[in-house]
């Protein structure tokens, strides 16, 4: 392998790379950096995870000089927010020993911080097409002096419908410029775009013709699985020997969130990145995954590009991708920087036709995926899962009911009233005319007591009525009544009120 110093890279950039343990160049870097440094337009094509970022980043930083003037001099356009953050971090590392300033411009974040960095004189802008055009239309981003232009993951921009925006951006930059275009695949519209906006570009393919269409250091496993058993299979794969960080791709945002909740409930430490999350939450989740706080990341295709974590050992396709290009980018999250990895794909019965197309395009030679369940012996053998492994490593914490000791309940409502509690009777609020009145004494023969003395007398009558034979149960004045209130007296009162009885008023002479 060739070192960066041997290719003519400035000493401060070599030192910055060495501080991260990067000394030798990858094939795409060996071929593109010597051409990019003098200003040759380049079309770089290489598999994902082979170091394309430094292939264009080093020439851009070195061509701007040690101390460039304030103002946007270099523009790097990327298709997704996650990739913008990733490229920004790499460019910021390359410029760590220079006065060059880098800013990331992408949606989902507040304008103010990005605008302040632009006004402070940032020279390198890494951004997504939408926010770049937005700030340019507001005259907050001047691209007229950008002489270094890079399109990264150009095929993804084509898939997302960004080509009109790219053409608009090219109309804003300097007419005489150094342009580099990088992509894993080269569809026809991208080639046409390169011919239109680039000057005599050199097309570099950093691939080994004997390697095949997929990376040789990735082991590809394809299983035909039932949708109701996938969570259990994934949980067992996550307990395989030697498993490091793992990325699980789903087709929909809802499926991603559902799988995150399921895996967390099973005891795994999982996070998510999908379109229903705010940009801040997505960045926090990605940062936790990179830092190792979470070792499982469930993502939609929004993160199929931009996840550049060297120690991802497993990629699991919860649902099969739509085409072979998406499959390559998903699988490319593992086996990065020359390391090995495992890519597991689940194929539903309804998606066998999609797998047939991917199998034919990538020449896998597996037209019929193996029918697999969570208990299948070959699953344990292929992925080195310990025998007897189940799909749960811990139980979700359960809320325990704390029983507080309760005081002995009074047997009768009147006793509860005497003790000053409402236990033993209903919890209805009762109106009391006097603090000394007891339950059952509010009404005496249908009349309310006028004052405390009358209330005491009525209370005495009620207590003496208990001693009469047959009294105290259904006559409303006994202590055994269920709510302590003289029900018959209340009924008589309502009857007199409804029929206008003799108790209502005395006849006049």
**What pLDDT tens digit does each residue of the chain (509 aa) get?**
788 888 899 999 999 999 988 888 888 889 999 999 999 999 988 776 678 889 999 999 999 998 899 999 999 999 888 889 889 999 999 999 999 999 999 998 889 999 999 999 999 999 999 999 999 999 999 999 999 999 998 888 887 788 889 999 999 999 999 999 988 778 888 888 888 899 999 998 876 543 455 667 889 999 999 999 999 999 999 999 999 999 999 999 999 999 999 999 999 999 999 888 888 888 899 889 988 899 999 998 876 666 677 788 999 999 999 888 788 888 888 877 678 899 999 999 889 999 999 999 888 888 889 999 999 999 999 999 998 898 888 654 444 555 655 655 555 555 545 555 444 445 555 555 554 444 444 444 444 444 444 444 444 454 454 445 554 455 545 555 555 555 555 555 555 555 444 444 445 54
Q: Which residues contact 500 (CB under 8 A, 6 or more apart)?
A: none
Question: Would you say residue 308 lies in a domain?
Answer: yes
Question: Would you say residue 509 lies in a domain?
Answer: no
Q: Are residues 110 and 29 in the same domain?
A: yes
Which one of 143, 174, 205 terminates a domain? 205
- Side-chain half-sphere CA neighbours of 227 within 13 A: 9
Q: Are residues 222 and 196 in the same domain?
A: no
Q: Are residues 140 and 237 in the same domain?
A: no
Question: Would you say residue 412 lies in a domain?
Answer: yes
Question: Would you say residue 391 lies in a domain?
Answer: no
165: enclosing H helix or E strand: helix 163-172
Q: Are residues 331 and 233 in the same domain?
A: yes
Interior angle at CA 419, CA 413 and CA 422, nearest 5: 50
- Integer Cα distance of 183 and 151 in angstroms: 8
Instruction: Give residue 147's pLDDT.
Output: 94
Q: Are residues 180 and 273 in the same domain?
A: no
Instruction: Give residue 455's pLDDT.
Output: 47
Instruction: Give residue 437's pLDDT.
Output: 47
Instruction: Give residue 186's pLDDT.
Output: 80
Interior angle at CA 214, CA 359 and CA 374, nearest 5: 60
Instruction: Give residue 452's pLDDT.
Output: 47
Question: Would you say residue 210 lies in a domain?
Answer: no
Question: Would you say residue 396 lies in a domain?
Answer: no
Question: How many separate domains does the chain show?
Answer: 3
Q: Are residues 228 and 375 in the same domain?
A: yes
Give me the count of residues in the chain: 509
**Which range of residues forms the domain containing residue 21?**
5-205
Question: Would you say residue 388 lies in a domain?
Answer: no
Q: Are residues 268 and 247 in the same domain?
A: yes
Helices (H), 198-344: 230-237, 253-265, 279-291, 324-331
Q: Are residues 196 and 222 in the same domain?
A: no
Q: Are residues 154 and 228 in the same domain?
A: no
Which of 93, 317, 332 is closest to 217 using CA atoms?
332
Q: Are residues 15 and 159 in the same domain?
A: yes
Q: Are residues 24 and 45 in the same domain?
A: yes
- Integer Cα distance of 414 and 32 in angstroms: 95
- Integer Cα distance of 314 and 321 in angstroms: 16
- Supply the DSSP symbol for 301: G
Token pair of 14 as six digits: 């070599």
Q: Are residues 85 and 10 in the same domain?
A: yes
Taking the CB of residue 316, how many other CB atoms lie within 10 A of it? 25
Question: Would you say residue 494 lies in a domain?
Answer: no
Q: Distance of alpha carbon 342 from its chain centroid, rounded?
A: 23
State the CATH number of the domain containing residue 21.
3.40.50.300
């Amino acid at each position: 392998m060739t070192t960066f110093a041997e290719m003519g890279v400035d000493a401060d950039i070599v030192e910055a790379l060495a501080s991260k343990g990067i000394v030798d160049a990858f094939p795409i870097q060996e071929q593109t950096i010597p051409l990019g440094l003098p200003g040759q337009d380049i079309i770089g094509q290489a598999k994902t995870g082979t170091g394309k970022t430094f292939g264009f980043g080093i020439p851009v930083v070195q061509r701007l000089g040690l101390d460039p003037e304030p103002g946007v001099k270099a523009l790097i356009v990327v298709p997704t927010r996650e990739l913008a953050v990733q490229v920004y971090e790499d460019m910021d590392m390359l410029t760590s020993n220079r006065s060059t300033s880098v800013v990331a411009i992408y949606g989902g974040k507040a304008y103010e911080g990005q605008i302040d960095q632009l006004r402070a004189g940032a020279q390198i802008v890494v951004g997504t097409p939408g926010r770049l055009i937005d700030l340019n239309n507001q005259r907050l981003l001047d691209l007229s002096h950008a002489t270094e232009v890079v399109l990264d993951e150009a095929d993804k921009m084509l898939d997302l419908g960004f080509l009109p925006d790219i053409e608009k951006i090219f109309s804003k930059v300097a007419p005489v410029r150094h342009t580099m275009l990088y992509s894993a695949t080269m569809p026809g519209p991208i080639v046409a775009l390169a011919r239109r906006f680039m000057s005599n570009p050199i097309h570099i393919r950093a691939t080994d013709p004997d390697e095949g269409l997929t990376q040789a250091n990735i082991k590809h496993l394809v299983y035909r699985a039932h949708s109701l058993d996938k969570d259990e299979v994934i949980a067992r794969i996550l307990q395989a020997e030697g498993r490091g960080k793992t990325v699980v791709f789903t087709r929909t945002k809802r499926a991603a969130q559902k799988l995150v909740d399921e895996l967390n409930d099973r005891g795994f430490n999982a996070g998510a990145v999908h379109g229903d999350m705010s940009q801040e939450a997505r960045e926090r989740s990605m940062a936790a995954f990179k830092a190792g706080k979470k070792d499982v990341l469930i993502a939609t295709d929004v993160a199929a590009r931009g996840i550049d974590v060297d120690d991802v050992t497993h990629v699991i396709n919860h649902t099969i991708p739509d085409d072979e290009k998406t499959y390559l980018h998903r699988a490319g999250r593992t086996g990065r920087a020359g390391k090995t990895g495992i890519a597991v794909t689940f194929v539903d019965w309804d998606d066998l036709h999609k797998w047939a197309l991917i199998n034919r395009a990538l020449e896998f030679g597996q037209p019929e995926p193996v029918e697999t369940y969570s208990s299948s012996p070959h699953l344990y053998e292929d992925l080195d899962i310990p025998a007897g492994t189940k799909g749960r490593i811990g139980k979700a914490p359960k809320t325990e009911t704390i029983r507080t000791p309760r005081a002995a309940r009074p047997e009768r409502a009147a006793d509860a009233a005497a003790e000053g509690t409402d236990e033993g009777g209903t919890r209805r609020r009762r109106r009391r005319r006097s603090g000394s009145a007891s339950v059952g004494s509010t009404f005496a023969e249908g009349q309310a007591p006028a004052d405390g003395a009358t209330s005491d007398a009525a209370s005495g009558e009620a207590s003496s009525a208990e001693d009469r034979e047959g009294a105290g149960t259904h006559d409303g004045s006994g202590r055994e009544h269920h709510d302590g209130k003289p029900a018959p007296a209340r009924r008589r009162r309502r009857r007199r009120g409804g029929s206008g009885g003799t108790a209502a008023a005395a006849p006049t002479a």
